[in-house]
Structure 1
Amino acid sequence: MEVLVRLVALLVVLLLGTGLRAIGVLTAGRTARLNAVAYYVALPALIVVSTYDRAIDDLLSPALLGGLLVVLFGTAGLAWVVHRGRESNGRRSVAIVQSYHSNLGYLGLPLVAATFDGAVTAIASVVLGVVSLMQVPLTILVLTSLNGAEAAVGDELRSLLTNPVLASLLVGLSIGSVGLAVPGPVVAGLDAVGSLALPLALLCVGASLRVDLPSIDVGATAAVVALKIGCMPMLAWVVFSALAVDPATFAASVVMLGTPTAVSTYVFASELGGDTAFASLNVFATTVASIGTLFVLIELVG
């Protein structure tokens, strides 16, 4: 019951962001500033405080890395087959990308941190880093190859490698691996700032959700929802069960890979020739539907 109440509260905050945008409170500029605080301050603080006391060898195992590779590319391959008949390259490329590209930073990690203990949160931080390094280049490759768009791939990869989420993960893991002592007040401060990551991120996501009614393709959107928040976590469950990983790794991987489509896929679609109205609809649909599926996943692994 506690998990259900928490997820309903998340939905309320998400819809609050949508409502504040609709009445003009969360303008584009204000949302951008709020987004910057979440991305450059709150989320990195959460990652550091989750990993600073753990060695990288305890978190990143061959089983975790191999399992993430299998689930990500397995889902992407299935999405390619399911969506191969879409009527346009712009819509087909977006459907494929949004079937595997997860909202790990703005929803996954903060949700895990609010629901599970420190061991699960630490592994979820590693999942965030590893999967981000894989899914962003894959998304750029799919969109550019299907749409014939040109992208400064080198710039995109440099941006990925220098983003604050990965940088904070490296800082946290480095501190944990060498055994540096972090003063208690610093940890408490980081913990307080990190606790803001989830509500800030939800407000930003809610403010970015839009539905263009004329663009609705029920069948295509339903397929994206089924693959992203249905098939992907199910595949993760099967793969990590077969790998016999520890409970913390299992819980972190399944819940993180069960998150909805990332809002950033809309940005990639707009820059690289994708169907942006369709992309926006899918972000909305997977995000709202994931409240129910994440509840089920958390109950099953928790």
Structure 2
Amino acid sequence: MLLSFQSILPLFLMIALGYLAKRTVFDVKMLPGLNQFVYYLAVPALLFNAASKAPIDNLINAPALAAFFIGVILTAMVVLVVSRTLFNARHAEQRVLRALNGTFSNYAYMGIPLTFAIFGEEAYVATVSIILVGNVFLIGGAQIFIEAIRQKEIGLKPILSILDRSLLRNPIFLSTMLGLFVSANQIPMPDAIDTLLIMLSPAAVPVALFCLGASLQFAKTSIDLAELGWMVFVKLCLHPALTLSAFLLLDINDPIWMATTVLLTALPTGALAHVVALKYDVFEKETSQIVVVSTVVSLLSVTLWMSGLQ
């Protein structure tokens, strides 16, 4: 456990440095620019490099992805039942956002830095796959559910609009798909472009974690403390536990895929869940608090998961 803690601690210290800098010397007006650099340049460069060098045949690991989806579905079902029975969440839209909070992880700003730093190149393929399916099916799926609830039904046009906003304008998705295209067709990269990507990629991990820390805001919200604790427990403990159980029940003997997938599901709630909450004005302040508290608590929980997985 000590070894796991020592390997993860520098990453969380970078998050703490971002928060401390915001409180002291860092001008918060610079944060949007840094976030844009990470989101549109550094992380896409890192993912493009990872995808372009990964054999495309290895990207689709059907048993591992099945275990991931089983973990998501079981976790969402538990959240829906408990939210309705214990926390009186009567509105269907609020239950959808609660399910999203319990299943969607901070893949880009924490998942990529953690898996790439801890597991190295062996985790590239699994990380890329989980990020793709997580963004497509969880973020896109949550929006489709809410649209269907509001419109009583949903047609092709709203679905295409959601996919357009979630995927076709998403630099993380586009850079990954472009990298896979390059890999599949074995397209050689010009030396200048390759050098540029090599320069950009290392910035993704420290700058993403710094921005994550600088964006943390601790404020009281209307969410009940019992429910806040429950949602944090679901995201950091129940979700990865159910995912690990799915791997074991399906008898998937791929340690890298299992460790990477479980670690990604053990991460705190991702900021994109808050973006969805803001867009539909549902469970917005509560989602913000879940993101912050789960991020702080994840220092301990991720260390424990890493210790168990190793």
Deviates more, 1:179-188 or 1:231-240: 179-188
Alignment map for 1:63-82 (pairs within 5 Å): 63-82=63-82
Q: CA deviation at 1:147?
A: 7.6
Q: CA deviation at 1:262?
A: 0.6
CA gap 1:234/1:192 in 2 versus in 1, 3 angstroms: farther
Aligned to 1:224: 231
Aligned to 1:160: 166
Aligned to 1:235: 242
Q: CA deviation at 1:21?
A: 3.0
Q: CA deviation at 1:169?
A: 1.2
Select the residue among 187, 195, 198 that pairs with 2:205: 198
Letter paired with 1:66: A
Letter paired with 2:256: A
Select the residue among 78, 86, 103 that pairs with 1:100: 103
Alignment map for 1:239-254 (pairs within 5 Å): 239-243=246-250, 244-254=252-262
RMSD: 2.7
What are the ranges of 5 or more consecutive residues in structure 1 without an aligned counterpart?
none
Q: CA deviation at 1:176?
A: 2.1
CA distance, structure 2, for counterparts of residue 299 and residue 184 of structure 1: 40
Scaled by the length of structure 1, the TM-score of the pair is 0.88
Q: Secondary structure at the match of 1:172?
A: helix
Q: Answer yes or no: is the 8 Å Cα contact 2:221–2:285 preserved in 1.
A: no
Aligned-residue sequence identity (percent) comes to: 23
Q: Secondary structure at the match of 1:195?
A: helix
Whether 1:276 aligns to 2:277 is: no
CA gap 1:117/1:190 in 2 versus in 1, 3 angstroms: same
Select the residue among 261, 264, 272 that pairs with 2:272: 264
CA gap 1:55/1:145 in 2 versus in 1, 3 angstroms: same
CA distance, structure 2, for counterparts of residue 262 and residue 102 of structure 1: 5
Q: Answer yes or no: is the 8 Å Cα contact 1:101–1:139 preserved in 2.
A: no
Scaled by the length of structure 2, the TM-score of the pair is 0.86
CA gap 1:247/1:214 in 2 versus in 1, 3 angstroms: closer
Q: Secondary structure at the match of 1:25?
A: coil
What are the ranges of 5 or more consecutive residues in structure 2 without an aligned counterpart?
none
Whether 1:136 aligns to 2:144 is: no
Aligned to 2:115: 112
CA distance, structure 1, for counterparts of residue 195 and residue 243 of structure 2: 34
Q: Answer yes or no: is the 8 Å Cα contact 1:34–1:204 preserved in 2.
A: yes
Letter paired with 2:103: Y
Alignment map for 1:286-297 (pairs within 5 Å): 286-297=294-305
Aligned to 1:15: 16
Q: Answer yes or no: is the 8 Å Cα contact 2:139–2:272 preserved in 1.
A: no
Deviates more, 1:161-170 or 1:192-201: 192-201
Q: Answer yes or no: is the 8 Å Cα contact 1:83–1:92 preserved in 2.
A: yes
CA distance, structure 2, for counterparts of residue 12 and residue 221 of structure 1: 24
CA distance, structure 2, for counterparts of residue 64 and residue 191 of structure 1: 30
Q: Answer yes or no: is the 8 Å Cα contact 2:97–2:142 preserved in 1.
A: no
Q: Answer yes or no: is the 8 Å Cα contact 2:45–2:197 preserved in 1.
A: yes
Q: Answer yes or no: is the 8 Å Cα contact 2:54–2:124 preserved in 1.
A: no
Whether 1:122 aligns to 2:122 is: no
Q: Secondary structure at the match of 2:217?
A: coil
CA distance, structure 2, for counterparts of residue 145 and residue 220 of structure 1: 26
Deviations 1:52-72 (A, max 9, x none): 222221121221332222222
CA distance, structure 1, for counterparts of residue 192 and residue 306 of structure 2: 32
CA distance, structure 2, for counterparts of residue 229 and residue 136 of structure 1: 19
CA gap 1:97/1:118 in 2 versus in 1, 3 angstroms: same
Whether 1:299 aligns to 2:286 is: no
Deviates more, 1:253-262 or 1:269-278: 269-278
Deviations 1:75-103 (A, max 9, x none): 11111112114345476554332111111
Deviations 1:137-171 (A, max 9, x none): 2322455567889x965433202222111111112
Q: Answer yes or no: is the 8 Å Cα contact 2:58–2:125 preserved in 1.
A: no
Q: CA deviation at 1:233?
A: 0.7
CA gap 1:227/1:246 in 2 versus in 1, 3 angstroms: same
CA gap 1:137/1:51 in 2 versus in 1, 3 angstroms: closer
Q: Secondary structure at the match of 1:196?
A: helix
Q: Answer yes or no: is the 8 Å Cα contact 1:17–1:203 preserved in 2.
A: yes
Aligned pair count reads 301
